[in-house]
Amino acid sequence: MRRWAGISVAAASALTAVLLAVPAQFGAASAQAPAHAAAPAPAGQAAAGQAGAAKEPVAVGTGGAVASMDLDASQAGISALSHGGNAIDAAVATASALGVTIPFVAGPGGGGFMVIYLAKTHQVVTIDGRENCPAACTPGMFTDPKTGQPLGYDYASDQPLATGVPSMVATWATAIRDYGQASLAADLQPAISVAQQGFRTDADFQQLTESELPELQAYPASRALLLTSAGQPLPVGSLLRNPDLARTYQLLARYGPSYLYNGPLGQAIVQADDHPVTTPGQTVVQLPGIMTTNDLRTYQARVLAPTHVRYRGLDVYSMAPPSSSGSTVGEALNILSGYNLGAEPQATALFQYLEASRLSYADRDAYVGDPRYVGVPLSGLLSPAFAATRRCLIQQTALTSPVAPGDPYPPYQGCQNQQTAAAPVTQEGLHTNNIVTADKWGNIVAYTNTINFFGGSGETVPGYGFLLNNEMTDFDFAPPTAGAYDPNLPAGGKQPRSSMGPVIALRGGTPVFSIGAAGGSTIIETILQILINYVDLRLSLPAALAAPRVSQTNSATSLAEPLFYTSALAKQLTSQFGEQFTEATGPILPLDEYPGDATALQDLGGGRFESIAEPVRLGGGSALVVQPSP
């Protein structure tokens, strides 16, 4: 099988037109305003810290590798590797730098899931760094008390009420403590430098700002950090410094995570959430938060066992609940293992992929939630025997959605939907990022994290330079009718279901690749398509990632990128199999993260890695290695 060492942005753009998309003593932080230099950079001048480098989607070499959606962030990870850190340190360095350069999708105010391959023990472990709902959360918290109806999703997402307990810093500290080689202080240094020196904003940054403009305008601290004095997006080429976030990272470096979870930063977060300071006359923010300092003190990131399925001789590992990625990708792979996708016509293979996705999403919505609060039949969802009872529902015509969930409890038998009603489908924010890292010792990290919507809730913590999340809108807003079971209703301390969950695949105990993505509920489909493109259709991993995508989440139509939507293959799927498609479009496309900004990494053996980022989507990502080689 031939593997491509690289793919140019131009080639990737052309490729998408033809390829199949099958895949206590603490210091105080001051409230110093950030520096905005509105003058654009001279032609050809890179942002501060980039040393004239340009983003490249693929890099091959030794000594370690990093891929993310931003050049400065990837360079931060390479810096950690070059100074003796391992892949875990590089992931933390990259994530903290993303909080500076792309604050709309990353930073200390959010959370995520980390999947780690430990080369010394040949073991895959995961860290659950998902945000908790504050203790005061109730099942009806997103219901209008006057009407008894669920709040509008967009309206609820703008409210401090939607902010969960920030868990990013706890994840970083847990990962470094248990598996890192450096220290939190060392891993934060590259991000501190970028925040102090600043970076030049680009067109993508400007459009991200525009997508969240009313929310940012509603908070004086957000206006001061991310907008002009007139409350408008910064001009392209502006130099954006964030001294408040630099100081926040310095304080975390000095005092550790307790500065947040039992110190002044935590107090500032609670104050901002529960008593938001808003711009006079704004109408966006109406429901204050319900977080307490005790919610922060009791938060812990947890090391969990991964999910595991076998597929085409690979051991595929991912996140267990409250992530739904591992169970849903795993179930879909089990269903698809009954077909020889690589030997079939492309339309047939894609039809089977869409129907396997439709069925596994039905089971996801019906059964997956926070396992500390609800019973999740994980072993059943990942059972090949259960998958067989779902596979046999796939005939020659697309099923009608919403399909009902199956019965993932033994004995597994029959070929019918086991329940009469489909579970409610949760709305989920699209705005996420994924980081992949590797080191010279062979450790690998795949880390998906977010603050949810572009800009989270839109609220910057005054004096600390980062935005808060609005992740609690990933819960269902109201119980299903007639008392049907719903595993994803809010509760105090509960984590909302998530689709974040990258995969690491091994063959014979040796790492082969890692894939992770953004895009809300379509994360699962993006990972699944890339994996099938690579494993079954034998595309190179860069080509598999670049190919156009289509996502079926147990909905009436599948959401397709424009190049797929207009393809002859889509027309064939409609005429031959009855599949229906909706074109993915939006006011900020291609910044709209559907179907998901992705990153991947391939272990080439002999200490060589191929690091892969998006070539085009969201302006393209950045893949780097410590020592490039052919």
What gap in Å lies between CA 625 and CA 73, rounded to an integer?
Answer: 13
Q: Which of 70-79, 382-391, 453-462 has the lowest mean pLDDT?
A: 453-462
- Rounded Cα distance between 149 and 200, Å, is 44
Q: How do strand 558-560 and strand 581-583 relate by DSSP bridges?
A: parallel
Q: What is the DSSP letter of 369?
A: S
Residues 271-286: tens digit of each pLDDT:
999 999 999 999 999 9
432 is annotated as an active-site residue: yes
Whether 416 and 73 have beta carbons less than 8 Å apart is answered as no
The CA distance from 242 to 245, in Å, is 6
Cα–Cα–Cα angle for 74, 80, 84, rounded to 5 degrees: 145
Task: Tell me the average pLDDT across 609-613.
Answer: 98
Distance between CA 241 and CA 197 in Å, rounded?
Answer: 6
Cα four-point dihedral sign 97, 101, 102, 104? positive
pLDDT at residue 277 in the model: 98
State the pLDDT confidence band at 36, using cuts at 50, 70 and 90: low
Q: Any idea how long the chain is?
A: 630
Q: Which of 516, 25, 573 is nearest to 350 (CA)?
A: 573
CB 209 within 8 A of CB 105: no
> Between β-strands 444-450 and 433-439, what pairing exists: parallel, antiparallel or unpaired?
antiparallel
Amino acid making up residue 283: T
217-246: pLDDT as tens digits: 999 999 999 999 999 999 999 999 999 999
Element (H, E) at 367: helix 346-367
Query: In whole numbers, what is the pLDDT of the chain averaged over residues?
Result: 89
Nearest Cα to 103, choosing from 427, 433, 446, 428?
Answer: 433
Instruction: Report percent pLDDT > 70 for the chain.
Output: 87
| Amino acid identity for residue 229 in this structure | S
Q: What is the pTM of this model?
A: 0.92
pLDDT tens digits, residue range 321-376? 999 999 999 999 999 999 999 999 999 999 999 999 999 999 999 999 999 999 99
Residue type, 205: F
The pLDDT assigned to 21 comes to: 35
Tell me, what's the pLDDT at 245? 98
* Residue tagged active-site, from 126, 163, 432, 599: 432
- pLDDT reading at 35 higher than 60: no
Q: Which residues of 217-234 are buried (b: 16+ CB within 10 A; e: fewer)?
A: bbbbbbbbbbbeeeeebb
List domains and CATH numbers for the chain.
9-23+56-303+427-628 (3.60.20.40)
Own/partner long-range contacts of 84-87 (Cβ < 8 Å, ≥24 apart): 84/181, 84/182, 85/180, 85/181, 85/182, 85/186, 85/187, 85/439, 86/179, 86/180, 86/181, 86/182, 86/439, 86/441, 86/443, 87/116, 87/437, 87/438, 87/439, 87/443, 87/444, 87/445
Angle at 412 between CA 410 and CA 415, to 5 degrees: 150
In degrees rounded to 5, what are phi and psi of residue 240? -110, 115
